[in-house]
Amino acid sequence: MAGMACCCPSALSSRSTSWLVVGTYQGRTLTGKRFQRRSLVIKAEVNFVNYQEAKKLIAVEGYAVVDVRDRTQFERAHIKGCYHVPLFIENTDNDLGTIIKRTVHNNFSGLFFGLPFTKLNPEFVQSIKSQFSPGSKLLLVCQEGLRSTAAANKLEEAGYQNIACITSGLQSVTSGTFDTVGSTELQNAGKAGLVTIQGKISAVLGTVLICAFLFITFFPDQAEKLLELAPSG
């Protein structure tokens, strides 16, 4: 009798994880063992290092430095020879909602802390792909460590497996650790606006003004009553 094989229909599920094979050969029935089909998924883990370990990754293991900060911080100070691919870019949209948000931002956060009004860079992953293969060794850096972590997650999802970030960002780097380009030290590149002129006084004043603005905006009736209680000159 010719050999033949069949599959038990009840074992064929939509997941296709297992099936039972039954075959006949020369009049004998051979029952196969149930086995599990497994798919191997390789998931990379981001390597978080301090700035001293980061320097070794560059010098010894050949990691390329990718700076994901916005343009203003990058121009103030960056590691010499790094690549600049910002995770956030300046938001120049002109719809009404964006205009209002940009105006509020520029009069407070922008004025006191020198923070630009930005939005997520929709071309970030594609920009990386145009310069680096998925097997490339990349050290992502930002000022505080938050943007580089977010960027690492995006690249991990895109298939990059050799990613490292500096814990706490460039603000933790001591002077002289890296060769740099710019008008200030890496750890100070995030400082701008009035806080750099008047220090802590401006920071406190800016916080007070922001709180006052929000209070007047969301609680106008209470704010008006408080103004009525204020002594007149």
pLDDT per residue over 153-190, tens digit each?
999 999 999 999 999 999 999 999 999 999 999 999 88
Q: At 68, list the tokens.
A: 């994901």
Among 7, 8, 82, 142, the one annotated catalytic = 142
Asked whether 192 and 72 are in contact (CB, 8 A), the reply is yes
Element at 28 (helix H, strand E):
strand 28-31
d(CA 213, CA 109): 12
When mean pLDDT is compared over 19-33, 137-151, 179-193, the highest value belongs to 137-151
Each residue of 45-102: pLDDT tens digit? Answer: 789 999 999 999 999 999 999 999 999 999 999 999 999 999 999 877 778 877 777 7
Q: What is the pTM of this model?
A: 0.62
Task: Mark whether 82 is an active-site residue.
Answer: no
The predicted structure's pLDDT at residue 168: 92
The predicted structure's pLDDT at residue 180: 97
Closest CA to 70 of 202, 161, 192: 192
φ and ψ at 105, to 5 degrees?
A: -60, -50
φ and ψ at 13, to 5 degrees?
A: -95, 170
